[in-house]
A and B are shown apart, each in its own frame.
Chain A
């Protein structure tokens, strides 16, 4: 089943064989091809190369063409500060600096950096016909905040009619931008509106719902899919977000996934998220990333859930961590291993004092359970076969992580992957089952 098909099933709340996976590769694509964030976001070629590399490495079902919530704001007159590692930041707000709303126009294809993204989308569409392409637009409330600054929060109370006008304009900007993205081949339009996490449900219903709802209707009329993406602490707004009838809502780690799942499914809306970005994907290791991913998979389930990072991947996210997640998405064995390792924080490593025997080679094999798991069984068998010629000079111990003592041994040996072979306390072979000759050589070297 191709990426777009599996995502369509998720959007329609049909059960899927596995959970679809959509890594939000924004400026991280620049890291993959060795360019900084500014160069990445200003060049169609760089976007295509970066996303192509991400597709190769992370095997996604869907991926955004670009993650940049400043494109519309820049066209409308907001000043940006560029950065080597992040998307640019908006640092001026025209509507608070004397510019009148009526002087602003809807964007054209040739304005700003719109064409950079549209060209990239067209090329990626031809290159990956089965991949779901996400086109991102800035949600109308966040765009309104870019134009007005934080004054918007007081003006919502003091000048609601004016805010309604601004929101109306920002909605038309969003619709125009969505149309361009869809024409260029995007299958899913993600309306990214993080600033709505700042407001309460009643304000959301007044100042956001009718506007994003209009955008979703336009997308639906074109036969494409829509996602409402709000990062930040938006738990108070999940219900009203669903009531806007996007095909999907997407959230970050600030909101419990099970809370979103229960509410979204009740409303008939698919949902996505919410791998921890900084503490796990950026700063953790592969094992952390896999444990986080399986936790999300188990909470989200196989109906209506799309696995994704909570937000735009930090540029320096280790490739290995993302590959650990994508590997696990496609491999139930790895999921099972990660589940077993999940509850280890309260365990302490075994004390290996007195464990080693002079003159003997101790082969420790960390497995899920060779009795019930094929890769583990082959690993144990391979070690046994290779050890025959050495008689009782080789001692073979299997440590099953289904058991707490197995996990404690894994911790004591410093093992991060399963299955793994250690020889006299050193990690020797990870995941791959070594040839007999390789094992025999390793044992000889240890003796």
Chain B
């Protein structure tokens, strides 16, 4: 059975490591957790902080830009495959560098070495509420991470003062579908019944069936008409339990799409300079190239 990987992203100082430690505090004694840490800068400090946590887990530290640079992804695939083989965790939680691209992370799960072994199940993006509007220089990277998050954790609300609701409003414009949690010290309720945490509310209900899930990433520079996008989604519903992402549906428009099983929502937004990116989770035909299938519905 493939292992769910849960991803924590966010820029340096947003509270990712604290969030990870909170998560381990709650779950490391009841589940066999694999922890992956990647920071583009020195990781020894964060690594030590995690190790001081008394929970039981196995750790893979990735000290270079593996989860940032496309040229190093192959090496990360090998490390992750070996980690899974050696430790066979029930789940993996990964704290990714603030500069990493979550979509690239999702893409590697389609590789032969990782297919059917691990899938991208859930992602949290941790946002520093106090500095959210100050991070102008890296705005587009931050927005990208928010866009693909299942839950955005607006952290350091104790320091943000009156700005907090402006931050939340700005985040909702970037990703209208994400759950939003407000927190101090990256502490959110990990009650699994609450939607904010329950990583896979539908998939959890399939526990008794134990499906072998996979994740797939579709990336394309093509434009697709909205009606064709819906036809494409219809064509894959049998295989995809869940899909989300943002799609170029016109030269100056994008559509954010999110859905589970048959229930899909489409939300049109102004264009931003990124290619179409969709992440899906489901039980797939391994030989299908879903990017090519998507592009067959494109109209240019």
Contact = CB atoms under 8 A, between A and B. Distances in A.
B43 interface: yes
Contacts of B137: 153, 156-157, 198-200, 203, 207
Given A157-B136, A202-B136, A316 B74 contact: yes
Interface string A81-119: 101011011111100000000000000000000000000
Nearest to B139: A200
A179 to B, nearest CB: 27
Contact of B221 (A256, A311, A316): A256
B98 A200 contact: no
A81 B63 contact: yes
Contacts of A254: 70, 101, 275
Interface string B13-47: 10000000000000000000000000011111000
Interface stretch (A11-19, A45-53, A57-65, A275-283): A275-283
Contacts of A198: 99, 137-138, 141
B70 A154 contact: no
Chain A interface, >50% SS class: loop
A397 interface: no
B70 A231 contact: yes
Given A91-B63, A232-B69, A345-B292, A314 B136 contact: no
A150 interface: yes
A432 interface: no
A425 B221 CA distance: 38
A277 B71 contact: yes
A90 B42 CA distance: 8
A253 B75 CA distance: 18
Main secondary structure of the interface of B (DSSP, over half): loop
A41 to B, nearest CB: 14
B64 A278 contact: no
Contacts of B263: none
Given A150-B40, A255-B275, A278-B73, A232 B138 contact: no
Given A91-B43, A345-B292, A282 B138 contact: no
A89 B274 contact: no
Interface string A22-33: 000010000000
Interface in B196-229: 221
B89 interface: no
A93 B42 contact: yes
A417 interface: no
B70 A278 contact: yes
A279 B74 CA distance: 9
A345 B108 CA distance: 20
Given A89-B63, A200-B137, A231 B71 contact: yes
B70 A259 contact: no
A312 interface: yes
B138 A236 contact: no
Nearest to A235: B273
A59 to B, nearest CB: 22
B289 interface: yes
Interface range, B side: 35 or more
Contact of B144 (A202, A233, A277): A233
A101 B30 CA distance: 49
B49 interface: no
Contact of A199 (B11, B98, B131, B138): B138
B65 A89 contact: yes
B68 interface: yes
B192 to A, nearest CB: 33
A368 interface: no
Contacts of A203: 136-138
B296 to A, nearest CB: 5
A314 B272 CA distance: 30
B134 A154 contact: yes
A84 to B, nearest CB: 10
A231 B104 CA distance: 13
A346 interface: yes
B84 interface: no
Contacts of A139: none
Contact of A252 (B70, B111, B131, B221): B70
B72 interface: yes
Contacts of A304: none
A194 interface: yes
Contacts of B108: 278
Contacts of B283: none
A150 B289 contact: no
Interface in A63-90: 81, 83, 85-86, 88-90
A83 B76 CA distance: 12
B163 to A, nearest CB: 16
B64 A81 contact: yes
B140 A91 contact: no
Interface of B: 11-13, 40-44, 63-66, 68-75, 77-78, 98-99, 101, 107-108, 110-112, 131, 134-141, 144, 221, 272-275, 288-289, 292-293, 296
19 contacts: A85-B78, A149-B42, A150-B41, A154-B131, A154-B134, A154-B135, A157-B134, A198-B99, A198-B141, A199-B138, A199-B141, A200-B136, A200-B137, A231-B71, A232-B70, A277-B73, A311-B71, A343-B296, A346-B296
Q: Which 3 residue pairs are nearest across A and B when measured between Cβ atoms?
A: A256-B221, A89-B64, A345-B292
Given A150-B99, A345-B289, 6 more contacts: A150-B40, A198-B138, A235-B273, A235-B275, A283-B112, A345-B292
